[in-house]
Amino acid sequence: MQQLCTKVVVDDFTKGVFFSQGHSPSVVLYTKSQLCDLKRCCGCETPDSVRSVMCVDRTFNLSNLFLTVTVFKNYTVIHKISHEPSLFIGTMFLHGDGQQETYLQFFSHPEPKLGSTHITEVRADMKILTGSDEEWAPVQALQVAFPNAQHLFCMLHCKGNVQQH
């Protein structure tokens, strides 16, 4: 599949726009601070006791597009009432289909950033944890983009699947 990727930087907000023949354009959205937080909370230099899982989930019914969002817990920011770590939003992805190749655009796009001097540890980290529901396409794309990652499945989705089937 031939594709073209254009990188656009507006202030601190970066996006990669993918154009592939026969597919809707896809857009990867993130800020430099989001990538720094991702490294700090999920990278190999993060102590195991506070390392977070980089979770991936796709929304439905967002007009004709899907929005896939990564989130992670930041154990250094504690909610003052619940005393739980805060959830932070990582990279986001607007896309028109749920194919593995499309998700691979998303998970591979930050690679130059993750492979740069800022975020090297996340990409090469053998200890990184990824998490998602049991949707096949993003799980397969995560395994290609992060071959040394350990992948976890969401317990709520697993319970729901067992009850439904």
Q: Which tens digits make up the pLDDT trace of 102-133?
A: 888 888 775 444 444 333 334 444 467 777 77
Q: Among 39, 4, 29, 32, which residue's Cα sits nearest to residue 18?
A: 4
Whether 95 and 106 have beta carbons less than 8 Å apart is answered as yes
Strands (E) in the chain, as ranges, are: 3-10, 13-20, 26-31, 54-58, 66-78, 85-95, 129-132, 150-153
Write down the pTM of the prediction. Answer: 0.72
Q: Is the pLDDT of residue 62 over 50?
A: yes
